[in-house]
Structure 1
Amino acid sequence: MGTAESARIKIGILTSSDRASKGIYEDRSGPAIKEVLNEYLKSDWEPVYKVIPDDRETIESTLKEMSDDEQCCMIVTTGGTGPAPRDVMPEATEAVCEKMLPGFGEQMRSVSLQYVPTAILSRQTAGTRGKTLIVNLPGKPKAIRECLEAVFPAIPYCIDLIGGPFLEHNPEAIHVFRPKEK
């Protein structure tokens, strides 16, 4: 494996939407995630982007593929976090993760409640599968930015802790926390 190839960091961006997956409307949420991550990350990274239907089996197999086969250090999902019958992203995420990190969802809901009272209906969560962090975001681009801003400060250190690559952030765009080395 060459140096350039080994330095390539992969981050999954997964949109769960019946209508967007059928081309009924354009996915705006996945590109919104990419835009924010481009602002926050200085590391060279490659998006692994997919739009799939709101089907639990499809979501689970796609999360496994992005983690195990594509070796994404992080998968950021959008859509499927509400209370509607087809909203199954949190269940699919929990099914494929070894450890859940409920603080991510708590923080995102806390921030979102400052803007919209229906944020209490959102069921975002996060967890780890091997060396992959999976973070569920809401489906609206504005909420994606607000939620990523709220949780991103913990993401690079979380990926350090699970054995993923070192994510270098852009300090002009976001402040992240890493403990000082002794």
Structure 2
Amino acid sequence: MSEQAVRIGIVSISDRASSGAYEDKGLPALQGWLTAALLNPIHFEPRLIPDERPLIAATLRELVDEAKCDLVLTTGGTGPALRDVTPEATLDVADREMPGFGEQMRQISMHFVPTAILSRQVAVIRGQSLIINLPGQPKAIAETLAGHAGASGIFAAVPYCIDLIGGPYLETRDEVCKAFRPKSALKKPTNP
């Protein structure tokens, strides 16, 4: 297989799921969507943790600095409730913020629910990794990543962002999510 391997951290942030009060649906949703969307071999680093700001920040640091993940996706903890601290923890570990991702996620979700305006998702760069906060519900995760007829999903921009920060060349299955790159950034076919 010619595609470069990619390491992806997936983090479900939920007090109740992490305590075993109910089954976590975030990690399977993230893993399933990414497996369907990417042609690259993927090594997942899954984590299920409670809504604790220091723990979320420490987990994100560990996934980037030690596990060497190229991409980290979180789900949960992005609303206005007092225990929703995922955006703050994500900003705690940021080298640079990528506000366009959060803006587009809210735009996509507004097509489905008026409460999308309450979402506080952020995306940041730490080192050579992209970290993105996604919604908590599996249906909303897929809608946000893939988009819909009226709006492009955020994942279309992820491969080129990873290129620009020095990560592996991500190749997508167009029927799930067509990555966008300028013509100058497209991978040239190699002769055998």
TM surpasses 0.5: yes
- Rounded to whole Å, the distance in 2 between the matches of 1:127 and 1:71 is 16
The alignment partner of 1:181 has SS state of helix
Q: CA RMSD in A?
A: 1.3
The answer to whether the 8 Å contact 2:5/2:168 transfers is: no
Kindly, what percent of the aligned residue pairs are identical?
53
Q: Distance in 1 between matches of 2:176 and 2:82?
A: 37
- Candidates 160, 179, 182, aligned match of 2:182: 179
Quick check: 1:74 aligned with 2:77? no
Give the match's secondary structure for 1:50: strand
Q: Deviations over 1:27-58 (max 9, x none)?
A: 10111011111111000011100000100000
CA contact (8 A) 2:5 2:41 kept: yes
Partner residue of 1:18?
A: 15
Name the aligned partner's letter for residue 113 of structure 2.
V
How far is 1:125 from its partner? 1.0
Which aligned segments of 4 or more residues in structure 1 are displaced greater than 6 angstroms? none
Residue of structure 2 in register with 1:160 after alignment? 163
Paired AA for residue 80 in structure 1:
G
Deviation at 1:8, TM superposition (A): 3.4
What SS is found at the alignment partner of 2:62?
helix
Query: What corresponds to 2:84 in structure 1?
Result: 87
Q: What are the superposed Cα offsets for residues 99-141 of structure 1, whole Å, 9 maximum, x if unpaired?
A: 1011101101001011001110000110100111000001001
Gaps of 5+ in 2: 147-152, 186-192
The 2-side partners of 1:124 and 1:39 are apart by: 23
Amino acid at match of 2:169: F
The count of corresponding residues between Structure 1 and Structure 2 is 177
Shift of 1:181: 2.2
1:123 aligns with 2:124: no
* Partner Cα separation in structure 2 for residue 23 and residue 173 of structure 1: 32
Give the letter aligned to residue 182 of structure 2: P
User: What one-letter code is carried by the residue in structure 2 that aligns with 1:101?
Assistant: M
Opposite residue 156 of structure 2, the aligned amino acid is P
Does 1:101 pair with 2:104?
Answer: no
Separation (CA, whole Å) in 2 of partners of 1:111 and 1:95: 26
Per-residue CA deviation, residues 58-114 of structure 1 (Å, 9 max, x unaligned), is: 000000000000000000000000001110000011110111011101101001011
Given that residues 171 and 179 in structure 2 are in contact (C-alpha distance below 8 angstroms), is that contact kept between their aligned partners in structure 1?
Answer: no
